Amino acid sequence: MKFQTRLLHGKAVDTYANGATVPPVSFANAFAYETSEQLEKVFQNRAPGFAYSRIANPTVDAFERRVNELEGGIGGVACSSGMSAVTLSLLNILQAGDEIIAGSALFGGTLDLLHDLEAFGIKVHFIPKVEKELIEPHLTENTKAVFGELIGNPALNVMDIRETADFLHEKGIPLIVDSTTATPYLVNPIQYGADVVVHSTSKYINGSGDAISGIIIDSGNFSWNPQRYPGMADYKKYGKFAYLVKLRNGIWRNMGGCLAPMNAYLNIIGMETLGLRMERVCNNAYQLAQALEKLDGVTVNYPLLESSPYHDLAQTQLNGKGGAILTIRTGSKERAYQLINKLKYVKIATNIGDVRTLVIHPASTIYIHSTPEAMAEAGVYEDSIRISVGIEDIEDLIADFTEAVEGLE
């Protein structure tokens, strides 16, 4: 089955009760059993079932299995937000004294999180791009993971997953990838060697901007050496499921960052059109980028443009797509605000992945806590605008942005 057919008819799509085509929303906090022995087996993971919705819930389980099938992992754990997913994907393997290497061209909230880890004795080395030559100088015996976004938000740098993963695996280090901006429609990072894949499913997977959520997908391919990862010692008996079992039965469960059943349901409804939406928004973004590149007064950054250093990699690794985000620079903050305020069909909002086109001035919002140096490394400047392209008719979007650019003073 190809992508959109698998979304609707894959193995993870159950035959729901009463012939329903979507799963029911289970709002129950707790699930009763006829005997204590039965409940004990469920709690000890020796029998399938649900005990308490913070630990597992039927609707959330349906969502986890749907996303996992799209990504080709061995299992997924849904979280209360994308930031929760990023946090727990790392803390599942880290302890005080450990080090990680991360790209500096990350979403502002992720940069803030990585700095927060320093208070817990975890050191983070930031590099401009997640690639072999820049990773190697920072490797130490305490390096426990490398983390980066597949398509940087909003820098729009594209990670060469295969090259990076192969290099790291030679060193016994896992690659954890945030694939929010790419989605499973553009690429399955696990097929290229990524060990753990994270999504803020609030974005493209949901598609309607109505449910905060995140998910962690485990490839099951990384061998967690208990000498290097002492926290994994008790979980080696689970083989390829070690990371997933530790996550679900440890820090994810204990910190309480579970996904609400209603949000899981909204995500399931939204993701059923993921292939159609991504085809549309990627095509729209490319055409808008091409149109803006022809205008005076702005410069355009989009991976699929021939002017981008990531053009060839986007063609091969991302199946000829560049994602649905582009950035433009206007020459000054004042001109950026002026352009944004002139747009008629575009919402000024902080989300990405909505069906509507959204714009934001990153320097004054999502990077408000970053230094000018950190912003520059993330591809954010005082005159930058991030555009999350929606499904509107492209002729209208091009006309709207063209009129705004040509009206700049």
Same structural domain, 209 and 72: yes
CATH of the domain at 368: 3.90.1150.10
Residue where a domain terminates, one of 253, 270, 287 = 270
Query: What pLDDT does 108 receive?
Result: 82
For the entire predicted model, the pTM comes to 0.96
Residue carrying structure tokens 């410069």? 299
| pLDDT by position in tens, the chain (length 409) | 999 999 999 999 987 888 888 999 999 999 999 999 999 998 887 888 999 999 999 999 999 999 999 999 999 999 999 999 999 999 999 999 999 999 988 888 898 999 999 999 999 999 999 999 999 999 999 999 999 999 999 999 999 999 999 999 999 999 999 999 999 999 999 999 999 999 999 999 999 999 999 999 999 999 999 999 999 999 999 999 999 999 999 999 999 999 999 999 999 999 999 999 999 999 999 999 999 999 999 999 999 999 999 999 999 999 999 999 999 999 999 999 999 999 999 999 999 999 999 999 999 998 988 888 888 888 999 999 999 999 999 999 999 999 999 999 8
For residue 154, the enclosing domain spans: 3-270
Both 113 and 23 in a single domain? yes
> Residue 122: what pLDDT?
98
114 and 29 in a single domain? The answer is yes
Are 343 and 250 members of one domain?
Answer: no
Q: At which of 270, 297, 331 does a domain end?
A: 270
- The pLDDT, as a whole number, for residue 46 is 84
Q: What's the CATH code of the domain at 198?
A: 3.40.640.10
Count how many domains the chain has: 2
Residue 378 tokens, joined = 């993330």
332 and 217 belong to one structural domain: no
Sole residue written with tokens 């991360």: 102
- Tell me: do 202 and 300 sit in the same domain: no
The last residue of one of the domains, among 270, 296, 331, is: 270
Q: Are 64 and 212 members of one domain? A: yes
306 in the same domain as 228: no
Rounded Cα distance between 32 and 50, Å, is: 9
Residue type, 351: N
My answer on whether 226 and 318 are in the same domain is no
3-state SS of the chain? Answer: CCHHHHHHHCCCCCCCHHHCCCCCCCCCCECCCCCHHHHHHHHCCCCCCCCECCCCCHHHHHHHHHHHHHHCCCEEEEECCHHHHHHHHHHCCCCCCCEEEEECCCCHHHHHHHHHHHHHCCEEEEECCCCHHHHHHHCCCCEEEEEEECECCCCCCECCHHHHHHHHHHCCCCEEEECCCCHHHHCCHHHHCCCEEEECCCCCCCCCCCCCCEEEEECCCCCCCCCCCHHHHHHHHHHHHHHHHHHHHCHHHHHCCCCCHHHHHHHHHHHCCHHHHHHHHHHHHHHHHHHHHCCCCCEEECCCCCCCCCHHHHHHHCCCCCCCEEEEECCCHHHHHHHHHHCCCCEECCCCCCCCCEEECHHHCCCCCCCHHHHHHCCCCCCEEEEECCCCCHHHHHHHHHHHHHCCC
Whether residue 337 sits in one domain with residue 366: yes
Q: Which of 223, 174, 215, 214 is nearest to 194 (CA)?
A: 174
Same domain, 109 and 226: yes
Residues 215, 321 share a domain: no
**Gap between the Cα atoms of 17 and 127, Å rounded:** 50
